[in-house]
Amino acid sequence: MKKLYTYLCICVLYFSFIAIPIHSLAQGENNNWHFGFGMGINFNVLPLAVQQSQLNVTESSAAVSDAQGQLLFYTMGCKIWDRNGVQMPNADNLLGNGPVYNGVPRGSGYRSTHIIKHPGNPNLYYVISGDANEDQTHKIYYSLVDMSLNNGLGDVVAGQKNIQFMSNGSEYLSVFRGNDCKSYWLIVRAETGQPRPIHAFKIDVNGFNTTPVITYPPPMNSGGYDEFLLLSDLSTAISANFNAVIKAKFDGSTGQFSSFQIIPNYVTGAGEPNGNYALSKDRSKLYIVESYSSNVYQYDVTLLNNPLAFRNSRTLAITGAGVWNRFTHMRAGPDGHLYLIRNGTSGGSPSSGIARMTNADQPVGNSVYDNNFLDYFQPWGTYNYSYMMLGMEVEVNPERDTIINSVKDTIVCFADKLQLSAYDHNAGYYIWNDGTQGMLKTVEQDGTYWVYSTDNCRTLIDSFHVTFTRFELKLPADTALCIGKSILVDVTQPNVNQYLWNDGDHNSIKNISHEGTYSVTATSGKCAISDTFKVSSIRPSVQILGNDTTICNNNLIDVKAVATPESDFTWNNGIQGDIIRPQQDGLYIVTATNTCGSYKDSIYIEVSDCICDIRMPNAFSPNGDGRNDIFKPVASMGCNFMAYTMYVYNRYGQIVFYADNVSKGWDGYFNGKPAEAGVYMYTVSYTDRYTKETKFMKGDVIVLR
């Protein structure tokens, strides 16, 4: 029977995920919003507090707080106010975010105002301000705010004010985080060109690099794109327009966009105003306002790699009230809820407010929508603007965290090696405790191994405690067991703590005396191995083929013995082997010796001195009475012919009978009729097989009727 091995390899992993931040960051930079006509919201308290703002802006604005959520300053790009609502001393005559009516900038630049933290100095902030589309100048500027100036209230740094870095910029600006968790990229869609190129300006520890990285996207029949949003993987950017979502890969190291993909027919229009879409706080859900209905739809952006699944994830999140009662802007709050500006009319009078949908990171069924979450305070009630916004998000790079995964105990069963893999498959760098690099490591010995890996914004340390369990289990080959005999099987192995035979026996040593199939499983800890063998029964025997007999000394024969199981043969005349050729009278005894013992059989052989002699009858009576009906030779037992012929002739010399075999004789017929009574002549010729001697005989025979 072919041996069958069953290996049970059980690897036990004790795995927990413990985040131990080396640097703790409260991430409260977006806890204060300032926007619109004197409106502010403080997210540091519950219920949310409405606060007065000095802003008077129709579209974009931005506010930044410190990591603990305390307001630092807010801006509409062309003006900057400190935490007390006082305009910073050197923040006069700032450019961008017009147009200017009666000497007052209206802040009509859509998404053209941003605040970017300086990666190299915690006191410095870049304020980005772009011209409104109505100005038709398309210039974009930055000014640098130093919070250590003006007694800690901040001011614009002299010489770092109204720095123009682009002259063909649109109103669609975005801020992305860099792959190093320190730098930022300001993403600006150009105003002209087809398709419109994408400019990426890097802000790192060295400051604002005014030389852009330019990407020329492929033609987009979908109608182009507005600003891009960056997903949580920091490498996927999406944009939306009236009939498609545009997906692209973003390289946070180089600033290049690539692999553009259009996902069409995601919604009927992209909302009014253009680009009215937002991501949830965890960037797993995309919300889009539908044109002319203000319906808000949710999409699962984790399915972007499967466009059909992404489109099928569309779920109606909020039912709108038509073009005159629409949502002009959406923004995810630091509390994870989605806030929407509701701008419209009621009974012919302006009616505006802030709506809220809770739990925007979750599927729609887990959300609660409140259409009147927060009413505008005066003077908002007197306005009805179509492009009012909640302010632009301040992108914040988290401090690098070190995440330690607790030790994973791995037991390796019956293997020579194990391949370890770092938990983070997207890290940019891996180093193991022996200095080798790469995500994977092959180990062959017991021990504790760890790997240090870094990705965009974190460091992970994975530890592995590896124990190799190796032992053998070897049953005998399939075997045959003699009746009345037994076999002792010993499968004892060091470090094995349990044995289990298929008959329930738990011993490592087993005495087997019956045929059957036997299997045993040996277990050491979490590792087990099995083996199987078959035992069949043997009934030993020996037999000499043939019976007692007489043979001629000129015609000796072989005598053969057979035995079960395979045996060694010895004859009583000293001959070894299973065959002998007796040459004299006697009792011949064979002894078969095998694994079961010794067994005997015998045969008596008489050897005669045989001479070949033929005698011919001189008459026969073929009358059918069964007596003397056939004329043929009578040969002695020593005859063995190698050639033989017999002819019978009538008195006319005709051949009336012929035979070439001594066993054939003449029946007294000729040409199918009884031959006449009378005398017939015969001749016989034969050659002895042993002596090779040829003899010839002739004579007469009488046919009697």
The more confidently predicted of residues 221 and 181 is: 181
Cα angle 645, 649, 655; round to 5: 70
d(CA 501, CA 519): 6
- Quick one: average pLDDT of 162-173? 94
Band (375; pLDDT cuts 50, 70, 90): low
pLDDT above 50 (res 382): no
What residue type is assigned to position 8 of the chain?
A: L
Tokens found for residue 66: 């410190």
Burial class (CB in 10 A: 0-12, 13-18, 19+), 510: middle
Q: How does strand 527-538 pair with strand 479-482?
A: parallel
Per DSSP, the three-state class of 307 is helix
- Quick one: average pLDDT of 544-558? 84
Residues pairing with 127 in the sheet: 115, 143
Specify whether the CB–CB gap between 336 and 361 falls below 8 A: yes
111: left (phi over 0), alpha (psi -120 to 50) or beta: left
pLDDT at site 181 = 80
Average pLDDT score over the chain: 86
Q: What is the full DSSP assignment across 120-174?
A: T-TTEEEEEEE--GGG----EEEEEEETTSGGGT-EEPTT-SSEEEESSEEEEEE
Measuring CA to CA, which residue among 155, 80, 83 is closest to residue 115? 80
pLDDT above 90 (res 379): no
Q: What is the pLDDT of residues 519-533, one digit of tens each?
A: 999 999 889 999 999
pLDDT above 60 (res 10): no
Band (488; pLDDT cuts 50, 70, 90): very high
Label each residue of 635-702 as H, E or C. ECCCCCEEEEEEEEECCCCCEEEEECCCCCCECCEECCEECCCEEEEEEEEEEECCCCCEEEEEEEEE
pLDDT at site 49 = 84
pLDDT at site 104 = 66
pLDDT at site 26 = 56
pLDDT at site 457 = 67
Q: What is the pLDDT of residues 387-446, one digit of tens each?
A: 788 999 999 987 666 676 666 788 889 889 999 998 877 777 788 999 899 999 999 999
Band (460; pLDDT cuts 50, 70, 90): confident
The more confidently predicted of residues 689 and 30 is: 30
- Quick one: average pLDDT of 182-200? 91
Q: What are phi and psi of 313, to 5 degrees?
A: -80, -5
Tokens found for residue 70: 């305390």
Q: What is the pLDDT of residues 298-335, one digit of tens each?
A: 999 999 999 999 999 999 999 876 655 678 889 999 99
pLDDT at site 378 = 42
Band (56; pLDDT cuts 50, 70, 90): confident
d(CA 508, CA 491): 5
d(CA 405, CA 434): 19
Per DSSP, the three-state class of 381 is helix
pLDDT above 80 (res 184): yes
pLDDT above 80 (res 637): no
CB atoms inside a 10 Å sphere around CB 310:
20
pLDDT at site 588 = 93
Measuring CA to CA, which residue among 237, 224, 123 is closest to residue 175? 237
pLDDT above 70 (res 18): no
Q: What are phi and psi of 49, to 5 degrees?
A: -100, 135
What residue type is assigned to position 156 of the chain?
A: V
